[in-house]
Chains A and B, each alone.
Chain A
Amino acid sequence: MRGGAAASVALRDVRKEFAGKVAIAGLTLDVAPGTFLVLLGPSGSGKTTLLRCVAGIERPTSGEIDIAGRTVVSVTTMVPPEQRNVAMVFQDYALWPHLSVRRNVGFSLARSGDTKEAQRRKVDDLLERVGIEALAERFPNELSGGEQQRVALARALAAEAGLILFDEPLSNLDADRREQLRVEIATLTRESGSTVIYITHDQSEAFALADRVGVLNRGELIQCATPEEIYRRPASPFVAKFTGVAGELAVQVRAEHEGVYEVVLAHGEARSFRAVAPQRGLRGAARVLVRAAGVRLVPVENEEGLAGVVVDVAFTGRGYEHVVKLGEDHMLRKVFASSRFDRDRAVRVVFEPATTLLFAEERGK
C-alpha cells in the first residue's frame, strides 16, 4: 500500500559496517512529518549508506529504524524497500533505459489500483509540473542530464510516498541547471507535503533547501539544527569549516564577557579582537574560525582591525573576493568587498564578533 500522509522517521542507534569498516557509527535521529531534512557531509561520511538503510536497500548491522511509526528495521525485522512507502531520487537517476519517460514515471502507479486512464492523467499532470510533458514518449538516452533528473523527480513524486529520499540528485549537473532544479525540488516536494531526507556535500545547496540540516562526519551525526543555527553556532570546528569559513587563526584568549571573548593572534599583531564561542570558560591557546560574510576590509589608514596584505583579488560580478595574508602564517580567503583592493596592498581586516567563532584548541594540534 503506497501513498498517504507525511511520514515521521526515527533512527535509534543505527550502525552499519562493511567488512568490519564502520560506515555509520550508532546514529540516532528523529525527523518530524513534513520536514525537509538535508544530511550534509564529506565523501565517506556515511550519508549515502544512511539513506540506503532508510530506503531498505542496505540492512543496518544493528539499530532500529521507524518510518511513520512502524518499525522497518530492528533485531527481528527487516521490511523490504517496496513495503516502506518511500520514494527515492538516485544520484545516477536510475532511469530504466528500456522504458519511455511515461512508463518510468508511472512505474509505481501500476499497482495503485487506479484505472489506466487515471494513471495516465496523473503521469501527464506530473510531467507537466516538472516541465517535460513534450518528452513523454522518449527514452532516457534521448534526454539531457537535466531532463533525466526531472524524470527521476517526477517518478519519485508519482509514488505519493510519505517519505522521499534524495541521493545527491544535483551532483551531475552544471551550475545553472543545478540552481534551476534545486528550486523545483524545493517547491514540488513541499507541495507534495512529504517528509524529505536529502543528502549532499554542498553546503549552499543544504542551506537553500533545508528546514533542518544534519552534519555527518565519519558515520556520526555531529549536529542537527536549522541552517541558521548551524551557521551561527556550529557545534564543532568540523561543522564550522564544512559549512564555509574564510580562514582559521591560532589565537590566545585574553578575556571573556558573557560568551564573548577577547583574543589576540598567537603569532602576529598583538591587537585584540572579539569572537563568540558555543562553550564557556575557554582559556589559553584556542583557534578562531571566521565566516567570510563576517570579515570586512578597510583601508590601512583606519584604526580598527588587524593589519594584512592582499595576496589575490578576483572579480565576482557583484564585487570582489580577496585573499588576505594576516601576520606570517594566516590566510583568509573569499573576503568580500564591494570595491577592489589591489594585490600587495596593505589593508586592515575587521571581524564581526557574531561570525567569528572561537573553539578550544584540539589536543595534539
Chain B
Amino acid sequence: MSVQLAPSANRAIPRTTPLAAPPTAGTSTSVTSPARRRVSAGSLVLWTLLGLLIIAPVGCFLILAVSPRVFQQGPEWFTLRYVREAFSGSTLTGIVNSLWVSTAVALIATVLATTIAWLVQRTNVYGRRTWTVLTWLLLLVPTWTMTLGWTDLLQPFGVASVLGVNTGWLYGEFFGPTGIVVVLSTAALPFAFFIVSAGLRLLGPELEDAARVHGAGRWVTLRTVLPVIAPALLGAFTISFAETMSDFGVAFTLGYHSHFPLATFTLFSAISNFPANFSVAAVIAVVLILSTIPPIMLQSRVMRRRSFAVVSGRTRAVRRREFSPLARVGVTLALAMVYLVALGVPILGAGIGSIVQNLGVYSSGAVHFTTAYYQQILHPAIVGQGLGAPLMLSNQIGLIVATLTGVVALVLARRLVNTAGGWSQRVTDVFLMGSVAVPGVVLGVGYIFLYDQPFITGHLVNLYKTLPLLMIAMVASSLPGQTRFMAGPVSQLQPSLSEAARVHGAGRLRAWRTTNLPLVSRVLVWGWLLTFTKVIAELAVAQILYPPSQEPVSVTIQSYLANNLLGDGTAMTVVTLAEMFGVIGLALLIYRLVAPRGWRRVGVSELGS
C-alpha cells in the first residue's frame, strides 16, 4: 500500500494557487455561479410570495394613511388630515385604551407565566404535565369564546344566577376594562408561558447553585438568576403586548358591549361604517404596528449589550424545589384557581349556558334545562342557516390553510435557520418578526384593497370576495407565527444527520424524509393543529373577507349573538370547540398509532412536556 504524492513523495508541496490570488476564471465561474443563481432564485420566489401575501396588501392599505388618492379614497396625494382625525375623539380613545390595556396585560401575563413556568419546571407541584396541557388548551380557545362564556355566566339571569350565585357586583366590573384585561391576560398567558418555559429549560442549576454557595438566600438567588433569562422575559412581554394589541375577538365582543373601544374595533368600525373611512383605519393600523416596535427594540438592545449564553454541554439536569406537603397542596390549589378562572369558568359558562332555557331572560319559575338550542342549530330550517354548513366550510378552510401554511412555514423556517442565508436570512427574520405584529384586521382590509383594484380584477384575477382570497389571507395571517413556531425545532436539526444519510447512499429527498422529517414530525403535527384550530376560530379576517352566503362558523356565531340568539350562538360555540378538540385528540391518537416508536421519542421537549 502506498500513497503517491504529486509531484513526488515526501517533499514539501508547493502551494499551487497563491492565497490572495483569485481562482482561475474558468473553474471558479462555472462552479460558483450556479450556486449563487440558486440563492437568488430562492430569494426571488420567497420575496415574491411574501410580497403577494403580506407586503403588498398591508402596504396598499397603510399608504392610505397619508395618501388617500393613491386608491381613490380622497383628493389628496399627501395629507396629515387623517392622522389628526385618528388622534381625536373615539379613535384616540381606542388607541389609548389599547396601549394601556396591552401594557397591563403584557405585564400580568409575563409575571403570571413566569410564576407558573417556574412552578411547573422547578418545583414538585402536583400535576405538572396537566398544567402544561391546560396551557395548550388555553392557547387554542379563541378570545371571543372566553368572552361568551363569561357573558353567559355573569349576565343578569345568566348561568351564575340560575345556579343561585349572586354575581351582580361582578357584572359591572367584567363588562369594562377589568374584564377585558382579565380575559386578554388569560389569552396572552400561553404565549408568555411557552417562551419563559423555554428560557427556564435552558437554564441549568449551576447559576442557582453558585449563588447559594456564595451565601445568597432564596430571594437573592431568584433576583440573581432571573435576569439571566431576561431575553425570555422580554420576549414574553413583547409577544403578549403584540398579541393583545392585535386581538380582535375581545374588541369585537366584550369591548363593544362594554362601550370600551379598543383600536382594532375602531379600525373595523372605520371601514364598516357608512361612509367607510379607510384613511383613518390605515392610521390606526400604522399605530398598531408601530406600537410593537419599542418592546422589540428593547429586547434587541438588551440582547446586544449582554451575553445570555447559558447553554453548555456541561449543563446538568435541574433540581426541583421540594415544597412541604402543605405548601405543595396550597400551591397546586392556587394553580388550579388560575386555570379555573382562565379556562374552566368560560368553558363551564358556555357549556351550561347552552342548555339553559331562556338564558338572560327574566323568569320567575324554575330553571329549565333544554337541548332545544342544539336541535335548532343542527336543523337549519328552524333558526337561520344553522351550524352544519358553516362548520363544514370552516373545517375545509382549516384543512387547506393549515396544510399550505405548514408546508410554506417549514420551507421558511429552514431558510430562517440556514446560516448560509446571509442578508436574505436576516431580512426574512426581521420581516417575520414584524409580521407577527400585523393584526388580522389590518391584513383583511389590505386584501380588500389590493385584490379589489381594477388592474387586478380586470386584468389578472378576480379573487375579491371569494373563498380562495379568504384562504390566502388566512395563510398570510398564520404564516409568520407558524414559521417562528417551527424555526426553533428546525434549528435544532444537526446538518450532519442528513449529511450522514447522503453519504451513506440516500438521495436528497430520502435523506430529508428519513432523517429530518421524523425529528420534526411532532412539531409539524402540533403546528398543523394550531393553525387548523386558529383558522376555524379566526374572526378578524373571516369577518372582513368572507364571501356572500359562505360564512365561516366564527362569523355565523357572531351573527347569531348579534341577533340576540344567545342560546343558539352559545350552543354553536360549544359544538365548534368540541369539534376542534375532537380533531386535536383524533390527530394525536392517529400520530400515536401510526408514527414509528422512534418518531415519538424525539421532539417532545420542544413542546413543553
Contacts and interface: CB of A to CB of B under 8 A. Distances in A.
A224 B596 contact: no
Nearest to A33: B1
Interface stretch (B23-31, B41-49, B254-262, B374-382): B23-31
Interface in B3-25: 3-6, 9-13, 15-17, 19, 23-24
Interface stretch (B50-58, B191-199, B456-464, B495-503): B495-503
A225 B496 contact: no
B3 A62 contact: no
A247 interface: no
B504 A13 contact: no
A348 B23 CA distance: 53
A28 B598 contact: no
Contact of A61 (B15, B23, B506, B518): B23
Contacts of A165: 503
Contacts of A123: none
B213 interface: no
Residue among B2, B17, B506 with most chain A CB within 10 A: B17
Contact of B31 (A35, A62, A87, A219): A62
Contacts of B15: 25-26, 220
Contacts of B3: 29-32, 35, 37, 211-212, 224
Contact of A139 (B503, B515, B598): B598
A143 to B, nearest CB: 13
Interface stretch (A75-83, A259-267, A311-319): A75-83
A63 B598 contact: no
Contact of B599 (A36, A98, A220): A98
Given A82-B503, A88-B503, A90-B496, A229 B10 contact: yes
A20 to B, nearest CB: 10
A159 B518 CA distance: 22
Contacts of B6: 12, 28-30
Nearest to B6: A28
B343 to A, nearest CB: 33
B13 A220 contact: yes
B601 A223 contact: no
Interface stretch (A52-60, A124-132, A321-329): A52-60
B31 A60 contact: yes
Interface string A209-240: 00110000011111111100100010110000
Contacts of B506: 82, 107
B19 A22 contact: yes
B549 interface: no
Contacts of B496: 90-92, 94
Contacts of B307: none
A230 B601 CA distance: 48
A193 B331 CA distance: 65
Interface residues of B, number: 47
Interface in B302-336: none
Interface string B106-136: 0000000000000000000000000000000
A108 interface: yes
Contacts of A33: 1
Contacts of A203: none
Contacts of A15: 17, 23
Nearest to B9: A225
A100 B506 CA distance: 18
B342 interface: no
Contact of B503 (A13, A81, A229): A81
Nearest to B13: A221
Contact of B504 (A76, A159, A229): A159
B495 to A, nearest CB: 8
Contacts of A236: 12
A120 B140 CA distance: 46
A222 B13 CA distance: 6
A59 B9 contact: no
Contacts of A81: 499, 502-503
Nearest to B313: A172
A307 B8 CA distance: 42
B365 interface: no
A30 to B, nearest CB: 4
A61 B32 contact: yes
How many A residues touch the partner, as a band? 35 or more
A236 B494 CA distance: 38
A28 B16 contact: yes
A155 interface: yes
Contacts of B5: 29-30, 224-225
A2 interface: yes
A107 B501 contact: yes
Contacts of A17: 23
A338 to B, nearest CB: 34
A108 B601 contact: no
B505 interface: yes
A10 to B, nearest CB: 8
Contacts of A91: 496
A13 B31 contact: no
B28 A82 contact: no
Interface string B576-609: 0000000000000000000010110110000000
Nearest to A84: B503
A68 to B, nearest CB: 15
A97 interface: yes
A15 B25 CA distance: 13
B84 interface: no
Given A90-B500, A159-B504, A223 B12 contact: yes
Contact of A90 (B28, B35, B499, B505): B499
B519 interface: yes
Contacts of B4: 30, 32
B218 interface: no
A13 B502 contact: no
Given A29-B6, A81-B499, A81-B503, A96 B27 contact: no
A13 B497 CA distance: 29
A111 interface: yes
Contacts of A90: 496, 499-500
A224 B4 CA distance: 9
Given A61-B28, A222-B13, A98 B2 contact: no
B223 interface: no
B513 to A, nearest CB: 12
A100 B596 CA distance: 11
B37 to A, nearest CB: 14
A120 B561 CA distance: 64
B12 to A, nearest CB: 4
A305 interface: no
A288 to B, nearest CB: 19
A30 B5 CA distance: 5
A86 interface: yes
A164 B207 CA distance: 43
Contact of B502 (A12, A57, A224): A57
B507 interface: yes
Contacts of A41: none
A169 interface: no
Interface of A: 2, 12-13, 15, 17, 22, 25-37, 52, 55-57, 59-63, 75-76, 78, 80-82, 84, 86-88, 90-92, 94, 96-100, 103, 107-108, 111, 139, 141, 155-156, 159, 165, 211-212, 218-226, 229, 233, 235-236
Given A55-B503, A82-B505, A225-B9, 20 more contacts: A26-B17, A32-B3, A34-B1, A55-B499, A61-B31, A62-B23, A62-B28, A82-B502, A82-B507, A94-B496, A94-B499, A96-B598, A97-B602, A98-B599, A103-B598, A108-B504, A108-B505, A155-B500, A225-B10, A235-B12
8 contacts: A26-B17, A29-B5, A78-B31, A80-B502, A90-B500, A94-B496, A97-B601, A224-B10
Closest 4 pairs (CB-CB, A-B): A26-B17, A98-B598, A62-B27, A94-B496
